[in-house]
Amino acid sequence: MFTLSPSILASNMLNLGDEIKKIEASGSKYVHIDIMDGSFVPNISFGMPVLSAVRSCTDLVLDVHAMIVNPDKYIDEFIDLGADIITFHIEALERDRIISSIEKIHQRGKKVGLSIKPNTDVSALYPYLELIDMVLIMTVEPGFGGQKFMHSMMDKVKAVKAKISDLSKDVDIQVDGGINIETLKIAKNSGANIFVLGTAFFKNEKILNAEQLLSE
Ligand code: DX5
Ligand code: ZN
Rounded to the nearest whole angstrom, what is the distance from the C-alpha of residue 12 to the centroid of ligand 2? 17
Give the pLDDT of residue 205: 77
pLDDT tens, residue order, the chain (216 aa): 999 999 999 999 999 999 999 999 999 999 999 999 999 999 999 999 999 999 999 999 999 999 999 999 999 999 999 999 999 999 999 999 999 999 999 999 999 999 999 999 999 999 999 999 999 999 999 999 999 999 999 999 999 999 999 999 999 999 999 999 999 999 999 999 999 999 999 998 777 788 888 997
Q: How many CB atoms lie within 10 A of CB 57?
A: 15
* Closest ligand 1 atom number to CA of residue 203: 13
135: which strand partners? 114, 173
Among 176, 180, 197, name the best residue to mutate to test ligand 1's pocket (greatest count of ligand atoms within 8 A of Cβ): 176
* Closest ligand 1 atom number to CA of residue 138: 7
Q: Report whether 5 contacts 31 (CB < 8 A).
A: yes
- This prediction has a pTM of 0.98
